[in-house]
A and B are shown apart, each in its own frame.
Chain A
Amino acid sequence: MKLTKLFKSAAIGLSASMLAVSVQAADVIKIGAVAPKTGALGGGAVVTQWPNVELWSKQVNAAGGLDVGGKKMMVEIIEYDDKTNPGEHIKAAQRLAEVDKVDFIVAPYGTGFNLAAAPIYAKYNYPHIAVSAISDKMPELTARYSNLFFTLGNTTSFSESVVDILKDMRAAGTIGNRVAMVNVADAFGIELAEAARPRLKEAGFDIVYDKSYPLGTPDLSPIIKGAKESNPDAFVAWSYPPDTFALTEQAIIQDLDVKMYYTAVATCFPAFVGKFGSKINGVFGAGGVNQDSPDIQAYFKAHKDITGKDADGWASANTYVSLQILGQAIEGAGTLDRQAVIDYIKASSFDTIMGPISFEDQISNRFWTVGQWQDGKFRGVKSSQMAGAAPIVAKDGWN
């Protein structure tokens, strides 16, 4: 009895929602989004990717939609969970193009997924404004896919900026030459450590501790213990989200006394300061954002108000910017014709919450590389061509 009732109400609900879609279908821009909600990257995408899709689409619709050649059109998001599985992602991307026949797409989350989906989005000529994709092969990829744009920077600039910070701090007399460096033994961690090693040596630093740990190592206390015994002035970890948290926890427990402490991915997450509070004051991490910009402040507020979640201190803003660019390009081109929108993106400069963004050979060179926790806020301190970098401060204990 109860079950039939449930089915009935489900059926009514389903047909009602289908009806609602078909009524407004004519004046709607369909935008497809495939990204993980579950699996290894699910945790990151739920912080950085999904809330921005929700925020942007709600804001656009609250403003009456996008102006496409004089006609206001609402946006409708069609979303799929790729479960952090490339095969699943490819199928969902094909489904968006062939079955849902979406007009535009939101770029995937993660380097591997952006590249796996790139041939499909190129085939259907969707403007593909990649955010969470960091690669040193960008020129080769953009040459191959004329619809693909990169916005978050490349591996080289991330390691260079960290070395620059070390140089700055040494010049200021805050630290000496002793650097302890660790990395997660997985693609991105290995790549960054490898890029940093020669640059550190070239700059005259002593790498007094150089260790790696496998992805998913539950106990990182030996790593911090070893680093501490090497008596370093600075500690740099090319880490992933779980180890960023685990290393910092151990650094606090063992009181790793360094004036410069850096962990890479996820240091900028709201959960990081949520877990460690004031203890992580002065910690450096990958990314950054200009906390003093009124546009960014308004964005953070809207993010919290509309999605109920805090934005992170890095790629959240970039993700939102990529959607702003897409929206402005559709309005600017005045059509849903995808080639026209791509051409518009290539030729124009966009007014975004991160300031003006334009593309040179389909790559934007305006991005943050390093940020620092300063009194509860993650502030951008090093960047490529971004304004508003905060001055760096030395780490002063874990309290």
Chain B
Amino acid sequence: MTSGDVKQLVWGAILLALAACVPLVANGYWMSIALTIAMFTVLSTSWALFSGPTHYISLATAAFFGVGGFLVGTGMSDYNTDYWTMVVIASLAGTVLAFLVGLATLRLSGVYFVIFTLGLAEMIRTLVSWIQNNFTGSRGLYVLTDLGEADIYIHLVLVAALVYLAGWWIARSRLGFAMRIIGNDEMVARHVGINTAFSKVILFTFSGFVASLVGALIAPRYTYIEPNGVFSPELSFIVVIMALLGGTGRLWGPIVGVIPFALLQEYINANYSNYSTLVLGIAFLVIVYFLPHGVLGRLEETWAKRRRSTW
């Protein structure tokens, strides 16, 4: 470990500690914005851990997020299980699911992988409805806890710490090295003896674990879980947009996209409520055309690599 590495850890710890102080100063309104930012920071960062180096665009976030929220709702409403037990079960289930999905799909490449992950959330939502309809029944999924937004926010900051620590470690490990080679050229990676499938599955599983954990932790905020709400494909897209806006080349890239995007969205909803979808669309075009730092940074990186590999 170099002194630079240690410095990064210390800085990270200080910033996270500061983030954890937000509930002390924020009122309810800013708390709910901070909570949204924390949620998308965790989701985008863990998404970028896998998709950043490998360039596999995964739209599966909603699938794992939904599994987390749905299982917490089912366990608490139908089986009277304690909230924290369900958080553990839900995140484990998400992890296993991500592992299986990873094994089955990471041999797909390019657009096939994207389409499959997009369909995954919808497939699981339908499966869940089918199970409810034929076996378990449904009485509405209630998540009644005493956790307020500040509590949920702190839980998410802790998960963010875990994700950043994992990202920091991966970047310095053989796994991270392998991922970078896979991202540059998967064929080369395989030829130099990297077990590409294994490496990809491990990181995909980790991002699935984080998404399902976030889904479980956020469930008390919604109080009532509707499969259509938690398996919403919109979530997957926003996570990708935010991460790309910030840039996926660095560990702290996604949060650079999450904060302005979340604030912009809030500003639009507050001031142009009736036109929020329209204005958001225009804002998105403006970001892409005029402020493409996140996206541009990524493109430059790719171009630089291309140039190097053609020479």
B222 adjacent to A190 (CB under 8 Å):
no
Contacts A37-B274, A137-B142, A185-B132; is A91 near B229 (CB within 8 Å)?
no
B224 adjacent to A81 (CB under 8 Å):
no
Closest to A100 in B: B270
Using an 8 Å CB-CB cutoff, how does the interface string of B22-64 with A read, 1 for contact, 0 for none?
A: 0000011111110010010000000000000000000000000
Question: Is A85 close to B, CB under 8 A?
Answer: yes
Using an 8 Å CB-CB cutoff, how does the interface string of A107-130 with B read, 1 for contact, 0 for none?
A: 000011001101110011000000
- Stretch from B7-15, B133-141, B193-201 forming part of the interface with A: B133-141
Q: What CA separation (Å) do A95 and B27 show in the bound complex?
A: 10
Q: List 17 other contacts, CB 8 Å, given A115-B224, A190-B132, A214-B130.
A: A79-B273, A80-B269, A91-B32, A91-B33, A91-B36, A91-B266, A94-B28, A94-B32, A112-B224, A116-B222, A137-B142, A183-B133, A185-B132, A186-B129, A187-B227, A190-B129, A191-B138
Residues of A within 8 A of B30 (CB): 98
Question: Is B126 close to A, CB under 8 A?
Answer: yes
Partner of B274, one of A81, A88, A92: A81
Contacts A80-B273, A91-B269; is A190 near B133 (CB within 8 Å)?
yes
Question: Is B234 close to A, CB under 8 A?
Answer: yes
Question: Is A135 close to B, CB under 8 A?
Answer: yes
Closest to A136 in B: B139
Residues of B within 8 A of A87 (CB): 36, 39, 221-222
Partner of B228, one of A40, A81, A123, A124: A40
Residues of A within 8 A of B222 (CB): 86-87, 90, 112, 115-116
Q: What CA separation (Å) do A40 and B234 show in the bound complex?
A: 12
Residues of A within 8 A of B129 (CB): 185-186, 190, 214-215
Question: Is A304 close to B, CB under 8 A?
Answer: no
Residues of B within 8 A of A99 (CB): 29, 270
Question: Quick one: which of A136-153 are within 8 Å of B by CB?
Answer: 136-137, 140, 144
B226 adjacent to A112 (CB under 8 Å):
yes
Selected A-B contacts with CB under 8 Å, 20 pairs: A37-B273, A37-B274, A80-B269, A81-B276, A87-B36, A90-B32, A92-B269, A94-B31, A97-B28, A97-B29, A98-B28, A112-B222, A115-B223, A115-B224, A116-B221, A137-B142, A183-B133, A185-B132, A187-B140, A190-B137
Q: Give 3 closest A-B pairs by Cβ, nearest first.
A: A98-B29, A115-B224, A190-B138
Residues of B within 8 A of A136 (CB): 139-140
Partner of A194, one of B126, B130, B138: B138
Question: Is A83 close to B, CB under 8 A?
Answer: yes
Residues of B within 8 A of A194 (CB): 137-139
Question: Is B4 close to A, CB under 8 A?
Answer: no
Question: Is A38 close to B, CB under 8 A?
Answer: yes
Question: Is A335 close to B, CB under 8 A?
Answer: no
Residues of A within 8 A of B266 (CB): 91
Q: What CA separation (Å) do A118 and B145 show in the bound complex?
A: 12
**Residues on B facing A (Cβ under 8 Å):** 27-33, 36, 39, 126, 129-130, 132-134, 137-142, 144, 148, 221-229, 232, 234, 266, 269-270, 273-274, 276-277
A38 adjacent to B269 (CB under 8 Å):
no
Q: What CA separation (Å) do A59 and B83 show in the bound complex?
A: 46
Q: How many residues of A contact B (CB 8 A)?
A: 43
Question: Quick one: which of A35-83 are within 8 Å of B by CB?
Answer: 37-38, 40, 79-81, 83
Distance to closest chain A CB from B80 (angstroms):
13
Most chain A C-beta atoms within 10 Å of own C-beta, residue among B31, B33, B133, B134: B133
Residues of B within 8 A of A80 (CB): 269-270, 273
**Residues on A facing B (Cβ under 8 Å):** 37-38, 40, 79-81, 83, 85-88, 90-92, 94-95, 97-99, 111-112, 115-116, 118-120, 123-124, 135-137, 140, 144, 183, 185-187, 190-191, 194, 212, 214-215
B27 adjacent to A98 (CB under 8 Å):
yes
Residues of B within 8 A of A212 (CB): 133-134
Distance to closest chain B CB from A191 (angstroms):
5
Partner of A191, one of B139, B232, B270: B139
Residues of B within 8 A of A215 (CB): 129, 228
Distance to closest chain A CB from B217 (angstroms):
13
Distance to closest chain A CB from B288 (angstroms):
20
Residues of B within 8 A of A123 (CB): 28
Residues of B within 8 A of A83 (CB): 276-277
A88 adjacent to B137 (CB under 8 Å):
no
Closest to A133 in B: B224
A186 adjacent to B130 (CB under 8 Å):
no
A186 adjacent to B227 (CB under 8 Å):
yes
Distance to closest chain B CB from A14 (angstroms):
10
Residues of B within 8 A of A135 (CB): 140
Q: What CA separation (Å) do A26 and B232 show in the bound complex?
A: 42
A119 adjacent to B148 (CB under 8 Å):
yes
Closest to B31 in A: A94
Q: What CA separation (Å) do A110 and B221 show in the bound complex?
A: 16
Q: What CA separation (Å) do A85 and B223 show in the bound complex?
A: 13
Q: What CA separation (Å) do A144 and B226 show in the bound complex?
A: 21
B138 adjacent to A187 (CB under 8 Å):
yes
Q: What CA separation (Å) do A97 and B32 show in the bound complex?
A: 12
Q: What CA separation (Å) do A99 and B274 show in the bound complex?
A: 18
A186 adjacent to B228 (CB under 8 Å):
yes
Q: What CA separation (Å) do A286 and B129 show in the bound complex?
A: 22
Residues of A within 8 A of B141 (CB): 187
A115 adjacent to B142 (CB under 8 Å):
yes
A81 adjacent to B137 (CB under 8 Å):
no
A187 adjacent to B226 (CB under 8 Å):
yes
Closest to A14 in B: B271
Q: What CA separation (Å) do A178 and B129 show in the bound complex?
A: 27
Distance to closest chain A CB from B273 (angstroms):
5
Q: What CA separation (Å) do A120 and B138 show in the bound complex?
A: 26
Closest to A92 in B: B269
Residues of A within 8 A of B224 (CB): 111-112, 115-116
Residues of B within 8 A of A86 (CB): 221-222, 226, 229
Residues of B within 8 A of A90 (CB): 32, 221-222
Q: What CA separation (Å) do A214 and B33 show in the bound complex?
A: 35
Residues of A within 8 A of B133 (CB): 183, 185, 190, 212
Distance to closest chain A CB from B227 (angstroms):
7
Q: What CA separation (Å) do A118 and B276 show in the bound complex?
A: 24
Partner of B223, one of A79, A94, A119, A183: A119
Q: What CA separation (Å) do A202 and B139 show in the bound complex?
A: 21
Q: What CA separation (Å) do A135 and B266 show in the bound complex?
A: 31
Q: What CA separation (Å) do A85 and B234 show in the bound complex?
A: 10
